[in-house]
Structure 1
Amino acid sequence: MNHAPAHLVDDDEAIRDALAWLLKSRGLHSISYPSAEDFLERWTPEMAGCIVLDMRMGGMTGLDCFDRLCERHSTLPVIFLTGHGDVPMAVGALKKGAFDFFEKPVNDNDLADRIEQALTLNAQQREATAAVDSVRSRVARLTTRERQIMELILAGKFNKVIADELNISMRTVEVHRANIFDKMQVKTAVELANLLKTGA
């Protein structure tokens, strides 16, 4: 179940209400915005979910809003709602990374299905980012010496070889190795190598 909302950006209140009702009937949460400016004011990098964005609005257009979001490195999937004449622009937006577009009048079920897919994609992206951040924060807790020893462990070197290379006792290497595994939350060198691939 996706708990993140669909952000509905449209200057037509009737369309916003109809979309909100459609999503509610699917058990999905939504937040409505009467303009692109209003949405951009409330946008934050931590925002989750997806955006359903009308292509043509009074004031800032959906396309301009999308460009601003791209400049801000937003990762929210964007689904455009377009009039017939806007299809070439919508195709251009897809090439820039928009998730999809629907020509009005839209098929409610098709749109709701696509919104669910966009929400799922965003949830997966956020999980992957959280996993990478977690690994990086663990690495950041290592001392300079621990990082040095970790590199040698990853190179497949035994404790005795590491001790000789760094001119320290084998016992010291063992202590550092235990600390590294503890801080990185792994039990073996293989687990450590696999974990660091996640954070690459």
Structure 2
Amino acid sequence: MSGLLVYVVDDDADVRKGLVSLLESAGYPAQGFASAESFLDAVAESMAALAGCVILDLRMPGLDGLALQRRLVEAGGTIPILFLTGHGELPDALVALRAGAVDFLLKPVDGRLLLRRLDACWQAETARFQARQLQEQVLCVLQRLTGREREILGFALQGIRNWAIAEILGLSLRTIEAHRSRLLLKLDAASVQDWQRRCEQGGLPTARLVELLASLGVAT
């Protein structure tokens, strides 16, 4: 599964279908699951990368909501979880919230309240998802650069001018300018600063760009 989605996990068919209908009518893509096990089977290959929100029933046969939350956390997932329960025991709510749940609402939940809670999650998740997509795109571009181009880009991201890069690397200014022209073509940018700004506006700060470059290594 890819993209942002609201996952509704509830063993009560009427509640599950009602929630999916409510969410879809409000413009949220949603999918229902009758058990934690069926949800885990569906997302087994992408648990750490799930984006959107999980609306999760606390009490279910088999794996309950808290057990499913633990599975997601152990897999490295960061998708927000909003619990629904018809019981509302305080200890369970505290366990869920301490493990990272964003909210704990009692059934029957007011639809307007649920949508307000979901909206805050959705906005944050949209920004995170877009930044992750941009990072994947940037990584693909960086992988296409030669080692020397990555090296020069690393210096340029620090604001070091061409003449200074030439001195550092022991190359001619003309050679540095030629490498920089080729890397700009691959970045599809008028300048390194222009590309840097675009990345920052998309949620990918310069520090992260430097980390991505470092992860690829630099050939000298």
Deviation at 1:193, TM superposition (A): 4.7
Q: Does 1:170 align with 2:173?
A: yes
* Aligned mates of 1:128, 1:189 — CA distance in 2: 19
Query: CA 1:151–1:19 in structure 2 vs 1: closer, same or farther (change >3 Å)?
Result: closer
Normalised to the residue count of structure 2, the TM-score between the two structures is 0.78
- The equivalences for 1:111-130 within 5 A come to 111-130=114-133
* Aligned mates of 1:37, 1:72 — CA distance in 2: 15
Give the corresponding residue for 1:99: 102
Gaps of 5+ in 1: none
Gaps of 5+ in 2: 200-204, 212-220
* Aligned mates of 2:121, 2:189 — CA distance in 1: 33
**Which 4+ residue blocks in structure 1 deviate beyond 6 angstroms?**
none
Is the radius of gyration larger for structure 1 or structure 2? Answer: 1
Deviation at 1:78, TM superposition (A): 1.0
* Aligned mates of 2:52, 2:153 — CA distance in 1: 38
Secondary structure at the counterpart of residue 49 of structure 1: strand
Aligned-residue sequence identity (percent) comes to 36
Deviation at 1:135, TM superposition (A): 2.3
* Aligned mates of 1:156, 1:8 — CA distance in 2: 48
Give the corresponding residue for 1:12: 12
* Aligned mates of 1:24, 1:151 — CA distance in 2: 45
Query: CA 1:190–1:73 in structure 2 vs 1: closer, same or farther (change >3 Å)?
Result: same
- The equivalences for 1:44-193 within 5 A come to 44-45=45-46, 46-193=49-196
Deviation at 1:69, TM superposition (A): 0.8
What's the C-alpha RMSD, in Å, of the aligned pairs? 2.4
